[in-house]
Chains A and B, each alone.
Chain A
């Protein structure tokens, strides 16, 4: 019997097993188990790390020569284009939801607040990483200024970009990450104002999670007590559309 024939048989066998796996994954119990691994990882990581444990910060010589962008490179909506043309002077960040004092902040006001600067690594769920120097306002500062209510459990980030299917991008994090010292709303990358491809005028940095959590083109921040009413209820655009994990620490 020829080797090629055996190899073919093995490949077909492997293929059949994989089709079997795909079929098993359609079983509700298996599906639940597969989608619940996220909860284990969240629990394990939160148990192993201090609440404010920092993501690695690098020295300037580790910065990627080119910081690649992913997802939307330009929202290209009429509304966004108008904001961009005027240098974002008419853009406002709304801080709403479960807060006692809603805010509406211009870019100039945000730049006037205390900053944090951090050289961190951006990890895409696809596998690549890029290191950049971010400057922005700690999210905690805004949530405190807006007097977030005790009922709030999550912070939702509403974005200007609609993905291919016309649904706006959004993301959400819980309060552990929202009040983390490295969670900032960044308006500068590598000492330059944020470029459109990287989320101008303002994007989230949530350094202990993967790239899709770092919402770009921020328009509104909303404090909520649950995620059910937003989008399809899974807490983010890719979570709703593609079944990505809401907790993206791994």
Chain B
């Protein structure tokens, strides 16, 4: 490349490979079912505790009103049906995550797109990225084709921390799994702690979802949405 010349960026690229797109929409449906049926299950006992045990006479760290019918699956309180939805979606979701993790590792998705690059974690770079987000200055040109450092950090946190934690705390609430994998109880400090962490992780996902939607809207919803459906992404032109 001759000096002084910038690399040419095609105006439309395939941004997301098909496994990313498939997993994204698979998750969108399953997480929606899991959250709403989970709130239905929570309504059966809307109190949270820390430790091995916890019931009405024990002190709860959080006590809520029941979630309303617009938020629960089914709309009308039905613990059995909520559990059917939740326990059907949960294994599909868990094995989906496992498959995605394996694919990411083997295909190089992790090292290519998610791993931090040299210098990215330097305070100055991170601070610059925070300022860019705060001023809603989205990357253009080639930079728009890579995840930025905050994006990478949140994807890594969700895929490798929040999602595994929500699956494992879900399993920790199962008396059968307690017998099969007793270490689960030690890992999370008891069944009621696991239930609390499961709930907190669910709301961390809700927070992620809200910021995710906000970013999509701000970055250009049509272009972003299309890139997650067909893969095609129109690269934003460099600012003059």
Evaluate contact between B179 and A208: CB separation under 8 angstroms: yes
8 A Cβ contacts from A233-250 to B:
238, 242-245, 248-250
Evaluate contact between B85 and A64: CB separation under 8 angstroms: no
Interface residue count for B (Cβ, 8 Å)?
Answer: 46
8 A Cβ contacts from A125-154 to B:
125-131
Given contacts A17-B32, A19-B75, contact A126 B45 (CB under 8 A): yes
Specify the chain B residue showing the minimal Cβ separation from A17.
B32
18 additional A-B pairs beyond A21-B74, A37-B91, A209-B175, beta carbons within 8 Å, are A18-B70, A21-B36, A22-B73, A25-B81, A37-B84, A37-B87, A41-B87, A48-B181, A56-B178, A65-B57, A121-B178, A126-B45, A127-B42, A127-B173, A128-B47, A129-B192, A208-B176, A250-B173
Q: How far is the CB of B55 from chain A (nearest CB, A)?
A: 4
Asked if A5 CB lies within 8 Å of chain B CBs, one says: no
Q: B39-63: contact bitstring with A at CB < 8 Å (1 yes, 0 no)? A: 0011011010000111111100000
Asked if A11 CB lies within 8 Å of chain B CBs, one says: yes
Docked pose: A238 CA to B179 CA in angstroms: 24
In the complex, the number of residue pairs spanning A and B with C-beta atoms less than 8 Å apart equals: 151
Evaluate contact between A250 and B52: CB separation under 8 angstroms: no
Chosen A-B contacts, 5 in total, with CB atoms closer than 8 Å, are A11-B70, A18-B74, A68-B55, A121-B178, A127-B173
Evaluate contact between B84 and A34: CB separation under 8 angstroms: yes
Docked pose: A103 CA to B36 CA in angstroms: 49
**Which A residues are CB-close (under 8 A) to B78?**
242
Most buried by A among B32, B53, B182: B53
Specify the chain A residue showing the minimal Cβ separation from B88.
A37
Specify the chain B residue showing the minimal Cβ separation from A243.
B80
8 A Cβ contacts from B13-71 to A:
32-33, 36, 41-42, 44-45, 47, 52-58, 69-71
Q: How far is the CB of A11 from chain B (nearest CB, A)?
A: 5
Contact size range, A: 35 or more
Q: How far is the CB of B72 from chain A (nearest CB, A)?
A: 7
Question: Among the listed B45, B79, B88, which residue makes an inter-chain contact with A33, where contact means beta carbons less than 8 Å apart?
Answer: B88
Most buried by A among B32, B81, B181: B81
Most buried by A among B52, B57, B81, B176: B176
Asked if B202 CB lies within 8 Å of chain A CBs, one says: no
Asked if B177 CB lies within 8 Å of chain A CBs, one says: yes
**Which A residues are CB-close (under 8 A) to B36?**
18, 21
Q: A24-37: contact bitstring with B at CB < 8 Å (1 yes, 0 no)? A: 01000000011101
Evaluate contact between A131 and B52: CB separation under 8 angstroms: yes
Specify the chain A residue showing the minimal Cβ separation from B33.
A21
